[in-house]
Structure 1
């Protein structure tokens, strides 16, 4: 193989493909790259997650959970936005699903005051 160029993490498909090319020994095809324990994964990111090549969301989960204890809902969803934009969590939908009620409490409260 020739040269592998540096790729920014925001270029998701290329970034995860490059990560696999660097870590999977002797790849013979794109399908081979997406195969983990005999199962062909649908995406490069899910393959990287299955191979534990990516940071998991535990750090971000702990961060948001701690914030929920001491902060307002608007501060919680501001933090969530910062994490999404600057930190590229591996499974942002899981974080959203877990903490959406905490982030939306102020919206519900405002709606109740309006009625």
Structure 2
């Protein structure tokens, strides 16, 4: 059987059960643990002890809280949902949503700030074809999405082209490969590129070119 992305939650946990819980002849049997039928394959995998807990995820965010800005914490939380497959996203959300709202809390009440954090992260998830609902995190009672920045696309494209013209051959190859993967992306696939190099070799220039 081919590997399945953790982003495809139920299929991923079905595969986990098929690998580690032999003898099941139906979906219902695979969901049955201690003579009780679980609602999802994920629940069954948890009850069978096939999933690690979220201790490392909690430590990661708790450490980031010490030195990262709230907007960076929101990005980290989004990345964790997309790529780290936390076993209990709701608990992580409830544990750290206040920290992720520190830049809003000075100006708004608690319910509004929670909603602002929710919709900021929801926008990031939507860019990757996902939603908070995919992770069982409920929509807040207050609706207040953050206002999008007005972006002059033509101006940004012109600026990006000017930056692209300054790249060397190796940087151009990197841009072509990354953008090629980006344009071929789908809701069920994900790619991550790590760009490394000594200081002064133009990594920031490459990042900025890709952003534009």
Report if TM-score (shorter chain) is over 0.5. yes
Cα deviation 1:47-101 (Å, max 9, x = unaligned): 1111121222111001111112232222222211221222121221211111101
The aligned residue for residue 52 of structure 1 is 49
Identify which of 84, 87, 91 aligns with 1:87. 84
C-alpha deviation, 1:110, in angstroms = 4.7
1:24-35 equivalent positions in 2, closer than 5 A: 24-35=21-32
- Counterpart check, 1:16 vs 2:4: no
- Counterpart check, 1:43 vs 2:17: no
More helix, by proportion: 1
CA RMSD of aligned residues (A): 1.8
Partners of 1:86 and 1:32 lie apart in 2 by: 29
Partners of 2:64 and 2:4 lie apart in 1 by: 32
Partners of 2:73 and 2:12 lie apart in 1 by: 29
The runs of 5 or more residues in structure 2 that have no matched partner are 110-212
Q: TM-score, structure 1 length as denominator?
A: 0.83
Q: TM-score, structure 2 length as denominator?
A: 0.47
Contact 2:13/2:42, CA 8 A, preserved across alignment: yes
Ranges of 4+ aligned residues in structure 1 off by more than 4 Å: none
C-alpha deviation, 1:25, in angstroms = 2.1
The runs of 5 or more residues in structure 1 that have no matched partner are none
Q: Please tell me whether Structure 1 or Structure 2 has the larger radius of gyration of its CA atoms.
A: 2
Partners of 2:30 and 2:71 lie apart in 1 by: 42
- Counterpart check, 1:64 vs 2:57: no
Q: Secondary structure at the match of 1:107?
A: coil
Question: Relative to structure 1, is the Cα distance of residues 97 and 6 closer, same or farther in structure 2, using a 3 angstrom cutoff?
Answer: same
C-alpha deviation, 1:20, in angstroms = 0.7
